[in-house]
Amino acid sequence: MGVNKKSQEYLDSFKDYLREEKNFSSHTLRAYLADVLTFLIWVNEADIDEIDTKKFSEYLYFIGQLNYLKSTIARKIASIRAFYRFLYREEIIDFNPTDTISGPKRTKSLPNFLSDDEIETILRNVKISTPAGFRNRVIFELLWASGMRISELSGLNYENLNLEQNEITVYGKGAKERIVLIPDKTKESLKNYIENVSDMIFKTNKTAKSPVFINNHGYRLQNQSIRKALKEVVNNIEISKKVTPHVFRHSFATRLLENGADLRVVQELLGHASIANTQIYTHVSVQRLKTVYEKTHPRA
């Protein structure tokens, strides 16, 4: 079993399209390409234009027997659909066999979030006695204070900072630009890192295009390194929840809504294209209210 030469060429072109036009993150890009490659291997060297709706339905049945989560199957379908939309747009195929196929309904789970005390516990346990530790503490504080994605944070350059106005310009999904806000305390921590600590990690000539957060070799700090640093901190303290950089974003949104922030404002700060993506945090807030009510009201 394998992929024929033409299909491999189409897959390579699809990769360029996702990376250059859609501006997919490296993580999403790898997932989409892996999903499409698995499908192409399954069809066993069949030409792209030979694959019809029936063949695609057979593949859905096949992956449905593999005990994948509904969310994983939905992503695999989305990946292959995107591939075929690309082929149709490029006039490589005359018919898109995925148009009439509906995937499984995703079970929407409420996002995990941290309490203020849990976040403060994490921040207190970051060892800031080393330059890298101080940098990590600033990163975690910035994630919590701004709600930005980890990829947005690691992608920051000095030209994105407007610290006089407590503003940072970030580029989200689809290279969409937005401004996030940070409080004075976080701003002072970030300034301290820039002015006094970053050169202790690696001394570089800072320009507008230079990365804000760097590793020990002076290169841009990668998402994987941030996740690893957070995991090391969390492993040494007693927190039962799963903690990832994205949980800081969930916590940021939840806290804003609990304190009366307008849903549209939260949507703008998070960079959500649709308010439907933001509304899930209202469910988190209501669920928390119910929990507090049941614990504290004598008639509950």
Give the residue numbers annotated as catalytic, written as ranges.
149, 173, 246, 249, 272, 281
Burial class (CB in 10 A: 0-12, 13-18, 19+), 36: buried
* Residue 265, token pair as written in the block: 């404002």
> What is the distance between the alpha carbons of residues 261 and 253, in angstroms, rounded to a whole number?
9
On whether the CB atoms of residues 111 and 281 are closer than 8 A, the answer is: yes
On whether the CB atoms of residues 9 and 1 are closer than 8 A, the answer is: no
On whether the CB atoms of residues 10 and 48 are closer than 8 A, the answer is: yes
Q: How far is CA 128 from CA 113, 136, 184, 196, 241, in A?
A: 24, 8, 20, 13, 24
Strand partners, 170: 178
